[in-house]
Amino acid sequence: MGTHIDHIVIAAPNLEDLVSRFEKLTGVKAVAGGRHDTGTANALVPLAGTKSYLELIGPDPEATAVTRDNFAIATTTSTEPRVAAWCVRPDDLEALAKQRGTQSHPMSRHTPEGTTLSWRLILPEPGVDFAPVPFAIDWLDSPHPSKVTELQVSIHSFTVYGPTKPDELPEPAKFQQGEPYLELVLESPKGRVNLSDL
């Protein structure tokens, strides 16, 4: 089954601060993405050379609570931004769900323009600071978020650390055995940057 990297998640306890740090590090301003029904909000940065993007995510300041802790935003003790998870886009989401012994779930996001994007998701592992096994998405008929603005950054390297190599490891992702961790290095207007420096 063919898979592609759909997006890489950078999580933080404060989205506004995360967007500011990202711009200071890379020279790129993330575009407001919108609000999730789970109590989070995001900002987006398309990646050049691929139909993929970075998702900067944090608690929605207008929500009362994060109701589903997919990216350890509610439960983590970490106060610093981190590359928390990554998502693949398989050719057949339902076949992948069956292969993993799970199921996909409908989800949505409300954009600043007042539209609603809908998709189906194989959920990420909850409550972990770093998720080496990717979650998965099917955007259905929604426009892909990689088209929100001009392309200014690209992946130099993306290394997935974990105890076991994931079954899905599309390029340019590389695997290295170790404690769970995700290392993302970008080519940006400010040169080559490692997101561990956020």
Contact by Cβ (8 Å): 76, 32: no
Give the Cα separation of 121 and 161 in Å (integer). Answer: 23
pLDDT at 22 over 90: yes
Tell me phi and psi for residue 131, to 5 degrees: -115, 100
Average pLDDT, the chain: 93
Which of the two residues, 154 and 125, has the higher pLDDT score? 154
Give the Cα separation of 46 and 195 in Å (integer). Answer: 15
| Residue ranges of domains in the chain | 3-197
Is the dihedral angle over the CA atoms 62, 116, 107, 84 positive or is it negative? negative
User: Which range is least confidently modeled, 94-103, 145-154, 170-179, 188-197?
Assistant: 145-154
Give 63-115 pLDDT, tens digit per residue.
988 888 888 888 887 889 999 999 999 999 999 999 999 999 999 888 888 88
In this prediction the pTM is: 0.95
Q: Which of 3-12, 124-133, 145-154 has the highest mean pLDDT?
A: 3-12
Tell me phi and psi for residue 157, to 5 degrees: -155, 150
Q: What pLDDT shows up at residue 129?
A: 92
C-alpha angle 131/135/136, rounded to 5°?
160
Pick from 112, 131, 107, 174: which is nearest to 9 by CA? Answer: 131
Joined tokens for residue 93: 């989401």
Q: What is the CATH number of domain 3-197?
A: 3.10.180.10
3-state secondary structure of 24: helix
Percent of the chain with pLDDT over 70: 99
Res. 1 pLDDT band, cuts 50 70 90: low
Give the Cα separation of 198 and 187 in Å (integer). Answer: 15
Tell me what the mean pLDDT of segment 42-55 comes to. Answer: 94
Tell me phi and psi for residue 110, to 5 degrees: -100, 120
Give 128-150 pLDDT, tens digit per residue.
999 999 999 999 999 999 988 88
Percent of the chain with pLDDT over 90: 76
Contact by Cβ (8 Å): 54, 33: no
